[in-house]
Structure 1
Amino acid sequence: MNTELPYILAISFQKGIGDVIGKKIITHFGSAKKAWRSKPEELLKIKRIGKVLSNDFGSDKYLHLAYKEIEYCDKNNINIISFFDTNYPNNLKECYDCPLVIYTKGNLDFNSSNKKKIAIVGTRKMTNYGKNFINELIDNLSDFDISIISGLAYGCDIESHTVALKNNISTWAVMGTNLDKIYPSTHKKIANEMLANGGWLTEQPSFKLTTPEAFLQRNRIIAGLSDAIVVVESAFKGGSLVTAKFANDYNREVFALPGKTIDPLNEGCNFLIKTQQAYLIENSKDIINYFNFDINRKSNQLDLFIEFSEEENSIVNLLRIDGKQHIDIISYKLDLKSYELMPILLDLELKQVISTLPGKFYALK
């Protein structure tokens, strides 16, 4: 057993310590064990550590609880991963308020360099419009190396997990409960199927009671794990908008499916697009272009069907070899002024050869 783990867990259980301060304390002392055995006056040197907390820090009751949790997880095939472990998700580690400890079950490949993690979130009252979109999106992404992340809830969440399984795509459920309680219980069969190619993740230890706040907090994990988030049908005050806010805070790209302005289930998505908190998404092609997924599959045949000018050919070859490029980089590499480059890019877009991506990036279709 990792000798640091009991002390990391004990710190995470310590009343009054959150994820940010917990990581700060361990980093300050260089190890959780040293931190746990430190004196109150040493703790007080750390900002935001008060006397009440410093005097209560290091209580045996939390360490005993930590050993019990380790024993429980061992018996139930639950992995305990701390922020300081090499297998902690790299994407999540980028987020300042990420959990000090996560609990996982299944086969979750967090840190594969090529795999893209796409979160799909939305209303529990999914309509056929949302269902058809999710099916089209995931079906058409099944050729690519991706994982689908969602929250195992009714509606858009469980539909995303189900379609991912149907397409043999790794799918991860981020839960607001601990891992011995599947919520809702009607999704237990799907959840168990996920363990072979994906799995479950939570920040809640086995003894923690479920609270409404835990489901809101888990939304930051969904956002943090992901490379991009797709919001499908959301009311104006839906939990999906909380996920989108976290995603924007973490510099993740957010996409939202637009809908009828008179439909309450579309108010959230339309608001995200209107306020420039999300890009409008129509179908899977927008995600494929954003990640530059099929540049090699489709670009090899472009020259067979379209005649290019010398400048157009230079741009096509550049995007074929180097992939998605910012307009300033294209301008620099091809020694073309912006005013010279813009009409050429527009012609290529009209010929449906290239796509304009968020942030003034361009890629082959």
Structure 2
Amino acid sequence: MFWRNYMERIRLWLWLTLANGISSSKISSLLEIFDSIEDIYKAKKTDYEKIPKISAKDADILSNKSLKRAEEVIDECRSKGIRILTMESPYYPENLMHIFDPPYVLYVRCKEKLNLNECICITVVGTRRPTDYGVLVTGELSEELGKEGFTIVSGMARGIDSIALSAALSAGAKVVAVLGCGVDVVYPPENKNLMNAIIENGIVMSEYPPKTPPFKENFPQRNRILSALSMATLITEAPVRSGALITSSSAFEQNREVYAVPGNITSKESRGCNVLIRELGAKAVIDAESIIVDFRDCYADVLRKNKPIIKERTDNKTQFVSYNEKYKDLSEKERLIMMTMSPVPIHIDTIIEKTNLSAEELTSELTMLEIAGMVKSHPGMMFSLNI
């Protein structure tokens, strides 16, 4: 009986959130008048028209009680392994419940259930066009925070977002990608492998139903979820007009901590971070400890519980066989290169130093590995595994 009633309420929540033009803030207005989703659904047009924020057009839309679209979305989610969370679910993130315009429905893809209410999340965002400096500090900070037990949240965009998520995954940490499209849509398309890795080791979530394209207007709206999920937001590199600053603005409004990495004062890509520190009160970050120290004492048990378990290999022969099995079709030089790399981008000079290959040899081999989809290039002659 409970399950049947719960599924019925999910249908009603989908009916409401899928209604054209009925935003989260309008739903909040409805809930101030009506006690439950059932009451909202059963109400008449004249009841809706009495609510100040509900227009005549909205009242007409809400008067359509068809659940057909809701059923279609449920069927779509079932076929694609997408979970639907409402605020009634124990897995719905509590941090989202008390913001001004919470997402009343979340669509989630994950291999194993991850309860974000038992995690300390840090959102890491920044420019889509990072410099070498931005790539380096984002990778290092995300990896170190992940190793300490923080769950890394980001948006899976090109640049800083993807680097942060990849670095955290390489540390064995849990990660969350919040999308501005449906969770069955890979955007940008080159992040297909990254998205699959996140589904295996964390959560891909969105407030938008399956098949929703990455419309430009979705991303500023999505940013409030990015900041609200976490105890703090870290901006590692961003110009003054970066979308990352919208996320930081949301974080300030939601009374979350905001951190920023200071950058070269002549660099446009760091201008946004420097302004956040100088004018808006963001805390300057010079290393991961700058953040960890603010959470270690209060959340020691939670962080300890979520620390990745690093399994040390004592049998080198087993490790070599396992490695060769994974890359059995590669040449010796290609295997050597792959052994030096991780999802965190590193500079080509570092790879040369580790492999003792000439620049000409390495460039040729990296080109072939990139064509094969095993290696990914980044601005500034940086390369990473294409997980």
Determine if the alignment matches structure 1 residue 168 to structure 2 residue 137. Answer: no
1:288–1:294 Cα contact (<8 Å) kept: no
Determine if the alignment matches structure 1 residue 22 to structure 2 residue 43. Answer: no
Q: CA deviation at 1:269?
A: 0.4
Task: Give the alignment partner of residue 95 of structure 1, picking from 91, 94, 99.
Answer: 99
Task: Give the alignment partner of residue 4 of structure 1, picking from 5, 9, 19.
Answer: 9
User: Residue 225 of structure 1 aligns with which residue?
Assistant: 229
User: Residue 51 of structure 1 aligns with which residue?
Assistant: 56
Taking a change above 3 Å as real, the CA distance of residues 189 and 286 of structure 1, as seen in their structure-2 partners, is same
1:4–1:31 Cα contact (<8 Å) kept: no
CA-to-partner distance for each residue in 1:196-215, whole Å, 9 max, x for gaps?
22020111112434310111
Task: Give the alignment partner of residue 201 of structure 1, picking from 205, 212, 235.
Answer: 205
SS at match of 2:96: helix
Using the alignment, how far apart are the partners of 2:72 and 2:105 within structure 1?
A: 15
CA RMSD between the two structures: 2.1
1:248–1:277 Cα contact (<8 Å) kept: no
Higher relative contact order (CA 8 A, sep 6+): 2
Using the alignment, how far apart are the partners of 1:139 and 1:48 within structure 2?
A: 45
CA-to-partner distance for each residue in 1:272-300, whole Å, 9 max, x for gaps?
11112411111111011111269989xxx
User: Residue 325 of structure 1 aligns with which residue?
Assistant: none
Using the alignment, how far apart are the partners of 1:41 and 1:49 within structure 2?
A: 11
User: Residue 284 of structure 1 aligns with which residue?
Assistant: 288
SS at match of 1:102: strand
Using the alignment, how far apart are the partners of 1:279 and 1:239 within structure 2?
A: 19
Q: Show the 5 A alignment for 1:40-189.
A: 40-61=45-66, 63-106=67-110, 107=112, 109-113=114-118, 115-189=119-193
> What letter matches 1:157 in structure 2?
D
Using the alignment, how far apart are the partners of 1:296 and 1:116 within structure 2?
A: 10
Using the alignment, how far apart are the partners of 2:171 and 2:260 within structure 1?
A: 23
Using the alignment, how far apart are the partners of 2:169 and 2:21 within structure 1?
A: 40
Q: CA deviation at 1:60?
A: 4.2
2:187–2:214 Cα contact (<8 Å) kept: no
Deviates more, 1:119-128 or 1:33-42: 33-42
Q: CA deviation at 1:6?
A: 1.1
Q: CA deviation at 1:37?
A: 2.1
1:37–1:58 Cα contact (<8 Å) kept: no
Q: CA deviation at 1:246?
A: 0.4
SS at match of 1:154: coil
Q: CA deviation at 1:130?
A: 1.6
TM-score (norm 2): 0.72
User: Residue 34 of structure 1 aligns with which residue?
Assistant: 39
Using the alignment, how far apart are the partners of 1:24 and 1:100 within structure 2?
A: 13
User: Residue 263 of structure 2 aligns with which residue?
Assistant: 259
Using the alignment, how far apart are the partners of 2:64 and 2:299 within structure 1?
A: 57
Q: How many equivalent residue pairs?
A: 295
CA-to-partner distance for each residue in 1:243-289, whole Å, 9 max, x for gaps?
00000000010001111111110110011111124111111110111
| Structure 1 ranges of 4+ moved more than 4 A | 293-297
Q: CA deviation at 1:52?
A: 2.8
SS at match of 1:208: coil
Taking a change above 3 Å as real, the CA distance of residues 144 and 6 of structure 1, as seen in their structure-2 partners, is same
> What letter matches 1:7 in structure 2?
L
Q: CA deviation at 1:94?
A: 2.0
2:236–2:261 Cα contact (<8 Å) kept: yes
2:176–2:202 Cα contact (<8 Å) kept: yes
Q: Which runs of 5+ in 2 are unaligned?
A: 302-387
Q: CA deviation at 1:185?
A: 1.1
Q: Which runs of 5+ in 1 are unaligned?
A: 298-365
Using the alignment, how far apart are the partners of 1:138 and 1:183 within structure 2?
A: 21
1:23–1:100 Cα contact (<8 Å) kept: no
Using the alignment, how far apart are the partners of 1:94 and 1:110 within structure 2?
A: 18
User: Identity over aligned residues, as a percent?
Assistant: 29
2:29–2:53 Cα contact (<8 Å) kept: no
Q: CA deviation at 1:180?
A: 1.6
Using the alignment, how far apart are the partners of 1:99 and 1:260 within structure 2?
A: 37
Deviates more, 1:273-282 or 1:243-252: 273-282
1:139–1:167 Cα contact (<8 Å) kept: yes
Using the alignment, how far apart are the partners of 2:88 and 2:53 within structure 1?
A: 22
1:144–1:293 Cα contact (<8 Å) kept: no
Using the alignment, how far apart are the partners of 1:53 and 1:229 within structure 2?
A: 35
Deviates more, 1:88-97 or 1:244-253: 88-97
1:44–1:51 Cα contact (<8 Å) kept: yes
Using the alignment, how far apart are the partners of 1:295 and 1:92 within structure 2?
A: 19
